[in-house]
């Protein structure tokens, strides 16, 4: 009977060692998972945000005073007429009577 008791004792000791090995492996897996979770939490945290200025209109960005008021059609045609009339050659001006000032 002495041999049977020894075998039973060794079997119990081997079972204890196996249980400890599995417990240590499980604890290592839990620690690794916890480290992975902490890394994920750090990655998902919002980082330091850059300052972005408020939006502004194109005219303000270019330094103008804004949108110019619309001119009426009458004012624009009068101005164009004055510009064209200054380029015309005046006819019948001068001491010549009844003729043009264009040489013939």
Interval 49-76: pLDDT, tens: 778 888 877 665 565 555 666 766 666 6
93 in a structural domain? no
30 in a structural domain? yes
69 in a structural domain? no
3 in a structural domain? yes
Predicted confidence at residue 87, as pLDDT, reads: 72
Residue carrying structure tokens 């045609």 = 77
97 in a structural domain? no
Domain count, the chain: 1
Question: Domain range spanning residue 24?
Answer: 1-45
Q: Chain-wide mean pLDDT for the chain?
A: 77
92 in a structural domain? no
36 in a structural domain? yes
Mean pLDDT of 26-38: 97
Predicted confidence at residue 68, as pLDDT, reads: 66
Taking the model in full, what pTM does it have?
A: 0.39
Q: What's 12-71 look like in SS3?
A: HHHHHHHHHHHHHHHHHHHHHHHHHHHHHHHHHCCCCCCCCCCCCCHHHHHCCCCCCCCC
Query: For residue 30, is pLDDT > 60?
Result: yes
């Amino acid at each position: 009977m002495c041999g049977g008791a020894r075998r039973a004792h060794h079997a119990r000791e081997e079972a204890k060692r196996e249980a400890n090995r599995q417990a240590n492996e499980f604890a290592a897996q839990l620690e690794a998972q916890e480290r992975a979770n902490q890394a994920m939490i750090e990655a998902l945290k919002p980082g330091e945000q850059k300052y972005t200025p408020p939006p502004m209109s194109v005219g303000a960005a270019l330094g103008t005073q804004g949108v110019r008021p619309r001119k009426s059609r009458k004012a624009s045609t009068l101005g164009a007429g004055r510009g064209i009339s200054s380029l015309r050659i005046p006819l019948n001006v001068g001491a010549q009577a009844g003729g043009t000032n264009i040489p013939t």
